[in-house]
């Protein structure tokens, strides 16, 4: 009983250590940049703030490309690791600064790295948090993973492409329900590409966006769901084959 109520010292130390590592990287980037007014550097909360940030960073991206890239990745991965909302603005920023191909590559890399960091952090200390925040979702996810163990990659791809479960929940809950990391990694890396493409493409024409709802038109949503259905089809076919295989076995055993 006493053990359950103790203050989680090493867990808190681990979180502080991870946060300090990201902070050190950002300080290093800051010190390598020229002296200037960087009051514009803050996480955007709306499209107007994102446009202001983009206008300023465009002046630095060509001359200080490495620093901007390192700073961008550190912020994105930190946000993913600690479940800070607003990564959609970071994805739009990647499109505005680095174009379609570079933006998609950057977003997929940073999002996968951040999701992986969250996965391992949750594996160490995340179980109480997930159980307290999403007990029902966790039970559902656990049952689905157990049922689809043989085609787990397809199911995880389906979850990444479609909004069936929140990405934050998937990152935190996957190690708890025994989703192997290589499956988690592949599903995250591949499954985030379609959404990253849509968001980065919108970021290239950032000035034309009036709200975040403009990101996903009917065509984009239909495409994402089509990809999700295709990814989960092998799982459904395997399930049907199993059921058909059980039928003759039951007939043979009864005769």
Greatest mean pLDDT among 4-13, 29-38, 55-64: 55-64
Q: Which residues contact 214 (CB under 8 A, 6 or more apart)?
A: 202, 208
With a cut of 50, say whether residue 1 has pLDDT above it. Answer: no
Comparison of pLDDT for 113 and 225, the residue scoring more = 113
| Nearest Cα to Cα of residue 83 among 167, 184, 11 | 167
Please give the structure tokens belonging to residue 42.
């803050």
147's tokens: 């049922």
Kindly report the average pLDDT of the chain as a whole number. 82
Higher pLDDT, 101 or 252: 101
Greater confidence, 253 or 61? 61
In whole angstroms, give the CA distance from residue 105 to residue 107: 6
Question: Domain extents for the chain?
Answer: 12-233
Q: What is the pLDDT of residue 220?
A: 64
Question: Up-side HSE of residue 87: CA atoms within 13 Å toward CB?
Answer: 25
Q: Per-residue pLDDT for 106 more than 70?
A: yes
> Global pTM?
0.80
3 state DSSP class of 207: helix
Instruction: Give the confidence band of 73 by pLDDT, cuts at 50, 70, 90.
Output: very high
Helices (H), 126-176: 127-133, 135-147, 152-161, 167-173
Query: Which pLDDT does position 211 carry in this prediction?
Result: 82
22 — pLDDT class (breaks 50, 70, 90): confident
List, for residues 233-250, the tens digit of each pLDDT value: 655 555 555 555 554 444
Q: Which of 14-23, 44-53, 88-97, 133-142 has the lowest mean pLDDT?
A: 14-23
Nearest of 167, 155, 214 to residue 192 by alpha carbon:
167
Cα 177 from Cα 146, distance rounded (Å): 8
Tally Cβ neighbours within 10 Å of residue 79.
Answer: 20
Whether the Cβ atoms of residue 134 and residue 169 lie closer than 8 Å to each other: yes
pLDDT of residue 188: 95
Q: What is the mean pLDDT of residues 122-140?
A: 90
Q: Indicate the SS3 state at residue 236.
A: helix
Report the pLDDT value the prediction gives residue 11, as an integer from 0 to 100: 64
User: Residue 173: its pLDDT value, please?
Assistant: 96
Average pLDDT of the residues in 186-204? 91
- Residue 180 reports pLDDT greater than 90: yes
Q: Which has more pLDDT, 56 or 217?
A: 56
**Predicted local confidence at residue 175, as pLDDT:** 95
Q: What is the mean pLDDT of residues 91-102?
A: 94
Share of the chain above pLDDT 70, in %: 79
């Amino acid at each position: 009983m006493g053990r359950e109520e103790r203050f989680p010292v090493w867990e808190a130390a681990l979180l502080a250590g991870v946060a300090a590592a990201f902070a050190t990287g950002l300080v290093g980037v800051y010190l390598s940049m020229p002296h200037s007014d960087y009051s514009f550097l803050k996480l955007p909360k709306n499209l107007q703030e994102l446009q202001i940030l983009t206008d300023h960073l465009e002046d630095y991206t060509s001359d200080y490309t490495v620093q901007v890239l390192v700073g961008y990745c550190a912020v994105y991965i930190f946000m993913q690791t600690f479940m800070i909302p607003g990564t959609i603005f970071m994805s739009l920023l990647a499109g505005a600064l680095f174009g379609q191909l570079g933006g998609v590559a950057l977003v997929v890399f940073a999002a996968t790295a951040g999701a992986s960091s969250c996965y391992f952090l949750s594996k160490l200390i995340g179980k109480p948090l997930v159980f307290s925040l999403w007990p029902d979702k966790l039970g559902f996810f656990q049952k689905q993973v157990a049922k689809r163990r043989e085609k787990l990659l397809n199911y995880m791809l389906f979850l990444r492409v479609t909004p069936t479960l929140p990405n934050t929940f998937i990152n935190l809950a996957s190690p708890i329900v025994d989703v192997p990391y290589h499956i988690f990694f592949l599903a995250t890396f591949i499954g985030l590409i379609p959404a990253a493409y849509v968001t980065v493409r919108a970021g290239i024409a950032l000035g034309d966006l009036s709200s975040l709802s403009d990101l996903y038109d009917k065509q984009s949503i239909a495409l994402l769901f089509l990809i999700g259905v295709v990814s989960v089809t092998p799982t459904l076919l395997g399930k049907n084959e199993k059921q058909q295989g059980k039928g003759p076995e039951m007939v043979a055993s009864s005769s």
